[in-house]
Each structure stands twice: as C-alpha cells, then as structure tokens.
C-alpha cells in the first residue's frame, strides 16, 4: 500500500526557494563588490586631482598672505567706489593722519623729480583737496570709473605693508564719448588701523607725460 504524499507548508516552500537562490545571490554580490571598490577608487582619484583640492593644498601654507591680499583688494574696491560715486568727502578716511598722496608722471618718478600733478600731505592736505573739488573749482559735471587690477603684495614688515596695483580711470562728460583720463600704477604703503587698512602713502604714477587739464578729482 502506497504512502500518502506529504503536504508541504508555505513556510517550508519559501525556505526551499530561498535556499536555492542563496548561491546566486552570493555570486552576484561577489561580482558587484569589485565594481564598488573600483568606483570608490576612481572617485577618490578624481577628488585628489581636482583643481579646487589642489588649490587648497597649495594655498594651505599661504593663507595669511592670501587673506591679506584680499584685504588690500577690498580696500582698493572701497576706494574706487568712493570716488566713482561722488563721495569725495569720504576720501580722506582712507588715509592715516600723517599720510602723503601724490599724482606724478612716470618720467618724473623714474628721474627722482619731486614735481607732481597733484600733491597732498597729511589729513589737512586731503581736506583742502576735498574743499577744492566741492567748493572752489568750477568744472562740468562728469562721471568717473576706476578699474584697479593686478594687485600685488610686495612686502609686510613691522605692520607696514607695501603693495602695488594697476589702475585706469575713465571719464565721461554728458553728451560726450567716454575717454581714458589717466592710467598707470599705484605704489601704496598701508598700515592697519584697528580692524581696517589705511594708506600711509599713495603714489599714483601715470604712464604718459601729457595729462588733460581736467584732472580735478583724485585718481
């Protein structure tokens, strides 16, 4: 007499299915593991070779110099904003009380000649220039645009900073084409006054020996 067939429970059937699929899962996982490791290695290599990472690594030891140059560039940007927006009364605040401001040709500067197109000594000289622009000089309305670039930190010693930058000043009169008023380079001696930088000496050396008679504002 034949034995009746055993009934297999649902749980038992699922267990058998899982047991049959387990080797296949292990093989698939084994195939994926090297691929994941390779992808991680490639990602790490891309990060290591990225320009941003290389820049941060190169600048890690130069952070103080880099930040100081940014401060100087911000000082130049604020200086240009002041003059370009007609806030001449704020111009003396960019200088120390014992400052020197000079606008001089390259020829005179290279020859060591002291004669300049514009000269102001100490805060009183700056205030005299402000009064001349606002009250005593008669001139047509005009708009100035300062372009300052290639800022370089030359040295820093004992809290005194030597820096230079190129500048171009554009001048626009109503109903006339914009023209280059003055172009050259700044030679700056800068000191820290509290939390901000100020110019102790600012020498503006323009490239040409000829200048228009309309240089009224500081450059």
Residues 89 and 142 in one domain: yes
Residues 19 and 80 in one domain: no
Residues 45 and 65 in one domain: no
How many independent structural domains does the chain possess?
Answer: 2
**Is 7 contained in some domain?**
no
**Is 213 contained in some domain?**
no
3-state helix, strand, coil in the chain (%, to 5): 45, 30, 20
**Is 124 contained in some domain?**
yes
**Is 89 contained in some domain?**
yes
**Is 216 contained in some domain?**
no
Taking only the tens of pLDDT, the chain with its 219 residues reads: 555 555 555 555 555 555 565 565 665 555 655 555 556 666 666 655 555 565 455 555 557 889 999 999 999 999 999 999 999 999 999 999 999 999 999 999 999 998 889 999 999 999 999 998 888 766 778 899 999 999 999 999 999 999 999 999 999 988 899 999 999 999 999 999 988 999 999 999 999 887 776 688 899
Residues 39 and 89 in one domain: no
In which domain, by residue range, is 151 found?
A: 61-206
**Is 3 contained in some domain?**
no
Residues 97 and 41 in one domain: no
The DSSP code sequence of 128-197 is HHHHIIIII------EEEEEEEEEEEEEEETTEEEEEEEEEEEEE-TTS--EEEEEEEEEEEEEEETTEE
Rounded to two decimals, what is the model's pTM? 0.71
Strand, coil or helix: what is 88? helix
Buried/exposed 89-128: b ≥16 CB within 10 Å, e otherwise: eebbebbbeebbbbbbbeebbeeeeeebebebeeeebbee
pLDDT in the model for residue 146: 97
pLDDT in the model for residue 23: 61
Angle at 29 between CA 11 and CA 17, to 5 degrees: 20
Residues 112 and 194 in one domain: yes
Distance CA(131)–CA(127), nearest Å, equals 6
Tokens describing residue 132: 């001349």
Residues 68 and 42 in one domain: no
Residues 81 and 44 in one domain: no
Residues 30 and 106 in one domain: no
Strand, coil or helix: what is 54? helix
Judge whether 182 and 206 are in contact, CB under 8 Å: yes
**Is 191 contained in some domain?**
yes
Residues 24 and 80 in one domain: no
> Could you tell me which of 162, 156, 100 has the C-alpha nearest to residue 125?
100
Residues 70 and 143 in one domain: yes
Residues 105 and 34 in one domain: no
> Could you tell me which of 114, 115, 78 has the C-alpha nearest to residue 95?
78
**Is 55 contained in some domain?**
no
CATH number of the domain that 128 lies in?
3.10.450.50
How do residues 6-42 score in pLDDT, each as one tens digit? Answer: 555 555 555 555 556 556 566 555 565 555 555 666 6
């Amino acid at each position: 007499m034949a034995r009746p067939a055993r009934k297999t429970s649902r749980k038992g059937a699922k267990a058998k299915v899982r047991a049959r699929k387990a080797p296949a899962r292990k093989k698939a996982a084994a195939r994926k593991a090297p691929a994941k490791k390779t992808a991680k290695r490639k990602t790490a290599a891309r990060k290591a070779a990225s320009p941003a990472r290389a820049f941060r690594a190169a600048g890690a030891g130069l952070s103080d110099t880099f930040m100081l140059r940014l401060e100087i560039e911000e000082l130049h940007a604020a200086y240009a904003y002041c003059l370009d927006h007609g806030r001449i009364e704020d111009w003396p605040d960019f200088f120390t009380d014992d400052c020197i401001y000079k606008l001089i040709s390259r020829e005179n500067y290279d020859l060591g000649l002291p004669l300049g197109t514009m000269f102001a000594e100490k805060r009183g000289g700056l205030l005299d220039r402000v009064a001349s622009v606002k009250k005593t000089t008669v001139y047509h309305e005009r708009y100035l645009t300062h372009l300052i670039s290639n800022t370089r930190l030359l040295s820093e010693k004992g809290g005194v900073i030597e820096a230079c930058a190129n500048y171009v000043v554009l001048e626009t009169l109503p109903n006339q084409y914009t023209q280059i008023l003055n172009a050259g380079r700044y030679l700056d001696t800068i000191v820290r006054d509290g939390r901000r930088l100020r110019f102790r000496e600012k020498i503006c050396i323009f490239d040409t020996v000829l200048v228009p008679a309309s240089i009224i504002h500081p450059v």
